[in-house]
Homo-oligomer: A and B are copies of this chain.
Amino acid sequence: MSRESYWASDPSEVLRVGDGFRLDRVDPRSTPGFEGDKANGRLALAQGAKILSVLQEQLFANSRMGGYERRILLVLQALDTAGKGGIVKHVMGSVDPQGVALTAFKKPTPEELEHDFLWRVEGAVPEPGQIGVFDRSHYEDVLIARVRELAPPEEIERRYGAINEFEARLAASGTTIIKVMLHISADEQKARLQDRLERPEKHWKFNAGDIDERLLREHYMQAFQVAFDRTTVANAPWFVIPADRKWYARLAVQHLLIEALETLDLDWPKADFDIAEQQARLAAS
């Protein structure tokens, strides 16, 4: 079966945040739109990897020919352990590293804190032809910043508008923006943190602060809901992806990327040289 045949409905429709969206009504264990099981999901992911790889190469190829401005920006936000790293490894890992610009945003440095919150993000936006991936992003500045009160309330309020303006500018310059929240349940997060504590090869991924953050879950859910309410716009949509099943979350993100690229109606760029002339030159060389 082809990967498409498992989808009863288009994931970009069923996962998209629309009017009246309520995060607390999304079941993190569900697999919206997908009718197969984990084995089907893995097969579909492998099939999709080949498709994504060709589309990415076409995007990249067009940008090499000059004057082509299209690019993709995938923003990944989530609570700890929800699987951002797995998306990067298992979805982005299937395309040519040359075409991917990955930026992991950590706690801001003193230099970054001296600038507006968008400053470090501006410096990381993808070039034409690239798929940019933000592992965390400017949304940290209205998520953890809101929950932990890292900035005054009026500054947090200001940021939603600033984000919308920033993303509108990116969209206008040829960027397809895909904003993803990976939605994990409290129980599944507990199980994954337990796993990190039990397995020595995972200890390095554990941080005592993750439990502190976990205790603030409801505050984070509220901050996400506000972010969805304030920053969901046509050219920069949010998608909430149930992430208790890793295979589903990876497949859904891959599907969103494939669909975004298909919308660009890509083809191999036409030669900007005389083929017969170059063949003659090459033969004589």
Evaluate contact between A269 and B203: CB separation under 8 angstroms.
yes
Return the contact of A98 from the options B85, B197, B275 (Cβ within 8 A). Answer: B85
Interface of A is mostly: helix
Q: Say how far A274's CB is from chain B's closest CB, in angstroms.
A: 9
Contact of A285 with B206 at beta-carbon distance under 8 Å, contacts A98-B85, A275-B197 already known = no
| Given A214-B285, A281-B211, A204 contacting B61 (CB threshold 8 A) | yes
**Bound Cα distance from A278 to B210, whole angstroms:** 10
Q: Is A115 an interface residue (CB 8 A)?
A: no
| Residues of A in contact with B, size category | 35 or more
**A215-B285, A281-B211, A285-B211 are contacts. A102–B93 as well, Cβ < 8 Å?**
no
List CB contacts (< 8 Å) of A174-232 with chain B: 190, 193-194, 197, 200-201, 203-206, 208, 211, 214-215
Which chain B residue shows the least CB distance to A60? Answer: B204
Query: Cα distance A282–B275 when bound, in Å?
Result: 65
Cα distance A169–B165 in the bound complex, in angstroms: 44
Chain B residues near A64: list those with CB within 8 A.
204
18 A–B contacts, CB within 8 A, in A order: A61-B204, A85-B96, A88-B97, A89-B97, A97-B97, A97-B100, A190-B285, A193-B282, A197-B275, A197-B279, A200-B268, A200-B271, A203-B271, A211-B278, A211-B282, A211-B285, A214-B285, A215-B285
- Additional A-B contacts beyond A61-B204, A65-B204, A193-B282 (12; CB < 8 A): A64-B204, A88-B97, A88-B98, A93-B93, A93-B97, A98-B102, A200-B268, A201-B268, A204-B268, A211-B278, A211-B285, A215-B285
Q: Give chain A's interface residues, CB within 8 Å of chain B.
A: 61-62, 64-65, 85, 88-89, 92-94, 96-98, 100, 102, 104, 135, 190, 193-194, 197, 200-201, 203-206, 208, 211, 214-215, 268-271, 273, 275, 278-279, 281-282, 285
